[in-house]
Amino acid sequence: MRTNARIGSCAGVAAAVWILAGAIGFNATAADAPGHGRQSANVDPCKLISAAEAQSILGVSVTAPQSSDDGTFRHCVYSSADKRNYLRLEALNAPKAFFERWMKLKEHGLPSRQLGNDAYTSSGVLLVWKNGIQLNISVGDDSGNSSVQGLEDAKERAAQIALSRL
């Protein structure tokens, strides 16, 4: 149960950013809310990274991916059998201007070292954009065997693979 709540946090981060935007004076409207008036991405994030690639990224065996679609994001989660390690991808149709506007809002967001201008990390989630698709990528390790840098590197490796297929 704890893992499911943590894994579901990426969409919550996006919604929290939208709420914060209004609080700090960004002229956000309901149409600016993540996914508002948009359909889920027209790509399946489970097709952007294979189970073998997820296993390589996480360094542990993974179960078959769990996919879902909440109408805003399409989700894909690869996890270890004990759920202590996971790779989560979320895909959203997003125009470049939408993505750039959110990047500007995230003053504490960090640009990606390897992925360039269309990628940044915020609240532990790597957000990347290509060809009208925003991907939110998170990696977790509850075993305590991964460093913060190791988790960041894993997210960037996942992004490189996924972006090559968009």
CATH of residue 82's domain is 3.40.1000
pLDDT of residue 28: 41
- The domain of 68 spans 2-164
pLDDT of residue 9: 46
* Number of structural domains found in the chain: 1
Of 81, 63, 100, 74, the closest CA to residue 10 belongs to 74
Question: What count of Cα atoms within 13 Å lies in the side-chain half-sphere of residue 43?
Answer: 21
pLDDT of residue 4: 43
Per-residue pLDDT of the chain (166 residues; tens, 9 = 90+): 344 444 444 444 444 443 333 433 434 444 444 444 456 788 999 999 999 999 999 999 999 999 999 998 999 999 999 999 999 999 999 998 888 887 777 655 666 667 777 888 878 899 999 999 999 999 999 988 888 889 989 999 999 999 999 9
pLDDT of residue 133: 94
Residue 97 sits at φ, ψ, to 5 deg, of: -60, -40
CA 61 vs CA 85, 133, 142: distances in Å: 9, 28, 15
Are 77 and 9 in contact by the 8 Å Cβ rule? The answer is: no
pLDDT of residue 58: 96
Q: Which residues pair with 133 in a beta bridge?
A: 93, 130
